[in-house]
Structures are given as C-alpha cells and as structure tokens.
Structure 1
C-alpha cells in the first residue's frame, strides 16, 4: 500500500488546492470531502471516489475496507502520516479519513423527477455557504424533488457547502443555471412559480402547493430579481408580526416548504 508522509507530496498539494480553488474543481471535475458520514452519503448518492486517504491512528486499514464495503466505486487507498493528515483535514473530528471524488453534472437538462407533481426549492444567488447548507438540509428533511440554484456564486462542491449541509449536497437532486434558464425550464414542465416577495403577495398558507410547484427564494439583502417577479405564478409572503419585514432565507424556505408538505399529507 502506498504511504505518504510528506506534506510536500504532489497529491497532498493538489488536495489543498482543490479545497481552495473552485476553478480547479471545475477543471478536473473532482472535489475533496472528509469524514465518514459525508463520504458514506456521497457513496449512497452514486458519487465515485478516486482516492481515499486515511490516518491509521484514527482509522485503520481494516476499518477503511469495511467502510467502503461492496460499493462499485473502489478508490486508491493511501495511508498518510499524522503531519499529512493534519494538513489536509479541516477539523480533527473527521474520523481519520479524507477522499477525492468525481463531481456530477448539475445541468438542468439532466434533472428528472420521480413524481408528476414535484415540489422544488429554487434559491437565487445565495452567497453564504451556511445558508446554502441549511437550505439543502431542509430539502433533505422534506424529501424535495429537487433543489435548483440560480446564478450560483460558488460551485456546489465548495468544502464549506459540503460541511454546512452535513453531506446533504449528496442526498438532494440538485441543478444549477441562470435565472432565465430556470424560469424557462419550470414553465416547460408546467411547474407553478411561487415567489417569496413583499409585493402583490398572498399569505403562503393560502396558496395551493398540491400541484407541481416551485418555492423560489432570494437573498435576505435584496430579495428576488425582477425577472422572477415578472414570471411569478403567485407571489407569497410569510406574515410578520414584529418590527422587521424579513427573516433568514433558510428559515423562510423551511416554513413554506413544510406548509406545502402538510398540504400534500407529507408525501
């Protein structure tokens, strides 16, 4: 078995660059993930592992072999020293295991739904990885048919998104595209566009979400662009009883999504 003990090893340098540079992730179609939960969710989500590195004082070779089990994705397994592991691991609680995996295409044209009346979350230009992660966790909890990111500010394989989503970036059906592309896609599928907005809105709980529906949310600072509002089937609003007129985007999305799930008897 290959052993890497130098932090100057080309593979280790590549891992560090993959974690930092979106351009390199896109060029190589690879990304880095760490921790048994995230790696297991990636495997269950059909992702292919290229390389798996482990620190034997935390995770033995036998444990690694048992961990990857019978998955068809059989990565190259490499033992690393303590110094190397500490260099490539973001945190100490990643159970001694780091992997390089292949990305998946997130093109809209590859997005397919299992139900005739899908329920979709669309987020326009979310900037904070923490918010994106929270949206993905909500989508996973509600078993949504898809999450679509419009005009993304970063790629979905950013390590901060993977961490903040607790691996839910691998459990959701995800696509990205421009606002124009997504609107055209939704209309071609006869999916109602329900925009969270302050104007021309009805209370969210009065809207019918049992039909094929998209819940569309914008940034907390500026909300949705005019293009969304001009193409909205119905604007919806969460009635606010305090002094402010907005809340965290992931919280607002969760409120609306679970009302839609309630209307669908949580199916």
Structure 2
C-alpha cells in the first residue's frame, strides 16, 4: 500500500466532497460515487466486486498495516490517505466503525442487468420502499435466505444512501439487487414465467396454504399504502399472514421475512 498523503484539515476539498456524497443523493448519482464506512461493510463491498477510488483511515483506530491487509487483494490504483481524529470525527457517520471509510464507484442496478442463473428462482420485490431502515432490513433478510434477487420497484431513495448501507450491514453489496418501474418489473417477471404473489389484505389466502415451490416473486408494499392496483391485478395469488391482535399489518421487513422463509421451508430449506 502506498499512502499518497495525509489530511489534517476539515476544510480540505476532499473532506467537503465526501460530506456532499454522504448527504446528497443527487451528488451520488451525478458522480457515480458513494461512501462506505466501516470494516465489515468495506469487506462486503470488496467481496461484491466494487471498485474503490480512495480509502481514508485514522491510524489510532485502524492502522496502516491493518488497512493494507484489508486491501491485500484489491486494486493497486486505490489512493490511501491517513486522516486525523478531527477529520475522522467530521466524516464518520458513527464513531464505532474502526476508523476507516472509502470513496467507491457505484454499480449499475438496472433491471435489464439482472441475471437469474437459477431456473427456479425465489425473488423479493418491494414496491416504493422509502425508509432506509426498512430497505436495509429487507436486504438482510434476503441475504439470510440467499434469495436469487431483490427488486426495488419505483424506488424512492438511491441504494447507496448511507442509512441503507448501515442498516443492511453491508448486505446491499452482496445481494443481487436491481431497480425498475412497477410496469417494467411486472413485464420482466411475466416474461420469465415467474409467479407473482402479492402480500395483500383482499382476495388473499393464508400464506402457509400457498405453493411457493415454483419460480416465485414475493411482492410487498409499504405499510402506509400497500401495493398498487397494477401489482394486485398481476398477482397469481394474494397472500396474507393472519393477525390475532388488534392491528391488521406488521412492519414490511417482518412480513417479508415470514413469507420468504415459508417459501424456503417449502423448498426444503435447511
């Protein structure tokens, strides 16, 4: 590892650039860059084949040797910069991320890029999720279940929002995840002969009575709005998780997890 320079001022132009990338979705989309913070998250991004541009480390928390080891098999074109405690505290989203963050190039997430090598895929579709915490939780569930893909229909936030990266614990980098409009996603699923199962209250059957053994997409909407009519009209079968209390819905990530692992159980998940 060749350390190119040190940064000790919070007024440094690179520091200002990083702050913009963290705070502004428009800047991330415009530049094709985003920020990763934390040892585990960076490990997963490396595993996911992401290209790193710049790595910044605070030696009191993450030594040069540890940083070098982390990127031992990474690109030699990465710039490594040592930063002071003051700079790190200015940049860090949280203070428990081992003193390392990086500027990384985003990957394409177009629906047209989605490859499904499994002939009998199990896919999660989330329509218009807005809360980064929910998206992160959905991605963690998808990772735990080793789903073939996650599709975000009508996305309301970009995938590289720092809150999504944090709440997904880096699973955003290892899931097979793409985005598209609802109509595009429905057309894609139908063209691939993937059955659509919508989580909905009306015209639904108990989820344990639904057969998820063939190629399936489990579709969930927001807690506030549910799924659009376009999804409900395209559904092979609406499914419901029976409630025994006073409310008629659960957090979307909890509902998705229940449905996904029922599908995995039917597929002899062990």
TM-score (norm 1): 0.98
State how far apart, in whole Å, the 1-side matches of 2:93 and 2:199 are.
Answer: 36
Could you give the per-residue CA deviations for residues 126-155 of structure 1, whole angstroms, max 9, x where no partner exists?
111110010000000000000001111110
* 1:39 Cα deviation from its structure 2 partner: 0.2
Partner of 2:243, secondary structure, is coil
Q: Secondary structure of 1:122's match?
A: strand
User: In 2, distance between residues paired with 1:11 and 1:114?
Assistant: 41
In structure 2, the residue corresponding to 1:58 is in which secondary structure? coil
Which residue in 2 is equivalent to 1:223?
Answer: 226
* 1:33 paired residue number: 36
Q: Secondary structure at the match of 2:249?
A: coil
Q: Which of 78, 93, 96 is the equivalent residue of 2:96?
A: 93
Which residue number corresponds to residue 153 of structure 2?
150
Query: What is the aligned length?
Result: 267
Q: Where do 1:104-119 residues align within 5 Å?
A: 104-119=107-122
CA distance in 2 between counterparts of 1:119 and 1:19 reads 33
Consecutive aligned runs of 4 or more in structure 1 exceeding 2 Å deviation? 71-74
* 2:130 pairs with 1:121: no
Take 1:246 and 1:59, find their aligned partners in 2: how far apart are those partners? 44
What secondary structure does 1:132 align onto? helix
* Structure 2: unaligned runs, 5 residues or longer: none
Shift of 1:186: 0.5
Is the partner of 2:268 in helix, strand or coil? coil
Is 1:24 the counterpart of 2:24? The answer is: no
CA RMSD of aligned residues (A): 1.0
The 5 A counterparts of 1:1-267 are 1-72=4-75, 74-266=77-269
User: How far off is 1:57 after superposition?
Assistant: 1.1
Unmatched 5+ stretches in structure 1: none
Q: How far does the alpha carbon of each residue in 1:205-250 deviate from its partner, in whole angstroms, 9 at most, with x for none?
A: 1111111000000000110000100111111111111111111100
TM-fit CA distance, 1:20: 0.6
Q: Give the distance between the partners of 1:33 and 1:197, measured in 2 at CA.
A: 35
Q: CA deviation at 1:78?
A: 0.4
How far apart, CA to CA, are the structure 2 residues paired with 1:10 and 1:102? Answer: 19
Residues 73, 222 of structure 1: alpha-carbon distance in 2 compared, 3 angstrom cutoff: farther
User: Structure 1: how far apart are the matches of 2:115 and 2:27?
Assistant: 28
Q: CA deviation at 1:74?
A: 4.3
How far off is 1:199 after superposition?
Answer: 0.7
